[in-house]
Amino acid sequence: MNARQPAGKRQVSATAFPNSHRLTKTDEFSSVFGFRKALKSTHFLLHYRLRAAEEVAGARLGLVVAKRLVRRSVDRNLIRRLARENFRMMRCRLPSRDLILRLAARPEPLDRRALADEIRKLLEKMITPER
């Protein structure tokens, strides 16, 4: 017997990536870009903004992968999947911030493992305390 839970009663695991962990609105993206704080790596910029105390705790992620840098949609989607997966696995350790991961340079060649490592290292920089 397989009983299903009603749609409103679903439990979210610690490693899930529901809409509450995503930046979805233009205003949310604008506020992060307006804060003008970012970490840089070879191919990515990680923009971030501290969240106010009255906001729900936890990190949220937005992604920007420009078509002019990566023409094929398959490759853009791969980069997004890698970013979401790394964020999902590290979210419980990240401070309460809004993050936008933006592809800033064309990755030539498109190496899945190297991009995943680069994304993971950027997110790990968010975990270490600022000096």
- What would be the CATH architecture of the domain defined by 22-127? 2-Layer Sandwich (3.30)
Cα–Cα distance for residue pair 131/124, rounded to 1 Å:
15
Local structure of 43: helix, strand or coil: coil
Residue-wise pLDDT for 80-103, tens only, equals: 999 999 999 999 999 999 999 999
User: Residue 87 has what pLDDT?
Assistant: 95
Q: Which residues partner with 45 through β-bridges?
A: 40, 102
Residue-wise pLDDT for 119-130, tens only, equals: 999 999 998 765
**Structural contact between residues 89 and 67, judged by C-beta atoms closer than 8 angstroms:** no
Residue-wise pLDDT for 48-71, tens only, equals: 998 877 777 789 999 999 999 999
